[in-house]
């Protein structure tokens, strides 16, 4: 039986998720060239109001000096177990921390952490911490793909640590591949998520193939103009970020999104509904989970012009529209026909209330009509959801359960969707 939930358009929903209080964070920095990017991460954490203590390794200080960390954190820098020994820093820092982030985490640091080494202040802190620990690796591709690193990462994840997938791109020198430090903004959002919900990133999607669509399609009217919508793609990208952090192999089909690709995701860029349809059906064949977060246009111009339509003194004529394919319904039908395996299928519904029904009533009707396993319903009137950093929603399930997610960062909603998906996966 469905439980009673608040209307996501209500004022109560908008105030249900207050800004998280400042927390004690340890930022560990190991000795890689990406250490300079940790300065940007530190700035984001301190600007969010958190009390950050930086613990660099000796090698990290060869890349970025102690004065930089002190100036950005507004705290003394903890560099060794001997300074202020009377305060027992190798125990105190870990015990007091509410989150430990290591960025960059080199292959050496991951190995020492996995084997319980305690040969400097950072590894001592990792052993004494009883809070969430987030590792953001950065190294050359060969080092990341080495069996020793793979085993060390698996060990850390099995103990509850969150180990992100490195990003793909330019490394040091002329090398390109997987091994770049994820963007500081992305690490900061995941850190904020863990501070709000310490259990938000379990390794429950390891080995799962997850397909996510994001953004809004554009349907050409002529070479210059198009019909589109207000979707920024932020919610879909947060879903990809969180799913990858939980161990999934993520394919992200993005329609007209200007955001950087989330680390650990394969990004496929599309423009129109037909392009999204083709890319989605191709990727869905091997997927364990399909999340249709993109805002796919319902209609497109029936006869787009090959040349720019000129402005004249005459009144503009009407634009004949034709329907776009219902990609979500097609996926459900393909699964029913045995062409899509047993993938969990999630739909999104951006709704406004009207004189016929409220937001949730429209959502329940859409869930019944589409036949997907989960439907994420969010209100989009009065500037809500589109283009914002936060979101509120109700997750409807095919069994009648309704999960209310109050207004908060989009990563929090993404984690709740992943929770609901994981509960439906076999095994």
Within 13 A of 73's CA, how many CA atoms are on the CB side? 24
Q: Give the DSSP letter string of 230-258.
A: ---SHHHHHHHHHHHHTT-EEEEEEES--
Q: What is the sign, positive or negative, of the torsion defined by CA atoms of 197, 203, 204, 206?
A: positive
Q: How far is CA 85 from CA 76, 79, 90, 92, 93, in A?
A: 14, 12, 9, 11, 12
Map tokens 């959502």 to a residue: 363
256 labelled catalytic: no
Catalytic residue among 229, 256, 324, 391: 229
Contact 214, 235 (CB under 8 A): yes
- From first CA to last CA, the distance across the chain in angstroms is 25
Segment (H or E) for 172? none
Segment (H or E) for 110? helix 107-114
Contact 367, 396 (CB under 8 A): yes
Closest Cα to residue 99, out of 60, 41, 146? 41
Rg (CA), the chain: 24
Map tokens 């040969």 to a residue: 119
Q: At 128, is the secondary structure helix, strand, or coil? A: helix
Map tokens 């392009």 to a residue: 275
Contact 231, 135 (CB under 8 A): no
| 405 vs 395: CA distance, rounded Å | 8
Active site residues: 229
């Amino acid at each position: 039986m469905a439980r009673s939930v608040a209307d996501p358009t209500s004022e109560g929903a908008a105030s249900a998720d207050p800004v998280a209080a400042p927390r004690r964070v340890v930022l560990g920095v190991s000795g890689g060239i990406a250490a300079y990017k940790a300065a940007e991460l530190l700035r984001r954490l301190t600007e969010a109001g958190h009390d950050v203590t930086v613990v660099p390794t000796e090698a990290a200080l060869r890349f970025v000096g102690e004065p930089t960390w002190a100036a950005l954190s507004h705290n003394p820098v903890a560099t060794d177990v001997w300074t202020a020994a009377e305060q027992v820093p190798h125990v105190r820092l870990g015990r007091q921390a509410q989150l430990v982030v290591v960025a960059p985490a080199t292959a050496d640091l991951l190995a020492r952490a996995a084997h319980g080494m305690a040969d400097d202040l950072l590894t001592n802190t990792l052993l004494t911490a009883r809070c969430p620990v987030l590792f953001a690796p950065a190294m050359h591709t060969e080092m990341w793909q080495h069996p020793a690193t793979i085993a060390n990462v698996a060990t850390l994840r099995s103990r509850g640590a969150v180990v992100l997938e490195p990003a793909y791109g330019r490394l040091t020198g002329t090398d390109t591949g997987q091994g770049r430090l994820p963007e500081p903004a992305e690490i900061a959002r995941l850190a904020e998520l863990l501070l709000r919900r310490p259990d938000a990133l379990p390794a429950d999607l390891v080995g799962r193939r997850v397909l996510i669509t994001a953004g809004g399609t554009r349907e050409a009217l002529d070479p210059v103009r198009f019909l589109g919508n207000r979707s920024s793609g932020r919610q879909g990208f947060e879903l990809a970020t969180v799913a990858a952090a939980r161990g999934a192999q993520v394919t992200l089909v993005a329609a007209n999104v200007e955001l950087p690709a989330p680390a650990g995701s394969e990004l496929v860029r599309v423009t129109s509904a037909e392009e999204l349809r083709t890319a989605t059906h191709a990727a869905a064949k091997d997927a364990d989970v399909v999340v249709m977060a993109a805002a796919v246009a319902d209609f497109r111009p029936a006869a787009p012009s090959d040349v720019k339509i000129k402005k004249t003194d005459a009144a503009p004529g009407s634009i004949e529209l034709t329907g776009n394919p219902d990609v979500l319904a097609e996926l459900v039908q393909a699964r029913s026909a045995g062409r899509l395996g047993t993938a969990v299928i999630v739909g999104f519904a951006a709704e406004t209330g009207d004189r016929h029904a409220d937001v949730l009533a429209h959502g329940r009707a859409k869930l019944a009509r589409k036949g997907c396993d989960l439907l994420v319903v969010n209100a989009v009137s009065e500037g809500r959801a589109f283009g914002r950093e936060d979101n509120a929603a109700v997750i409807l399930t095919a069994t009648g359960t309704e999960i209310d997610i109050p207004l908060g960062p989009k990563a929090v909603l993404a984690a709740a969707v992943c929770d609901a998906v994981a509960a439906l996966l076999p095994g």
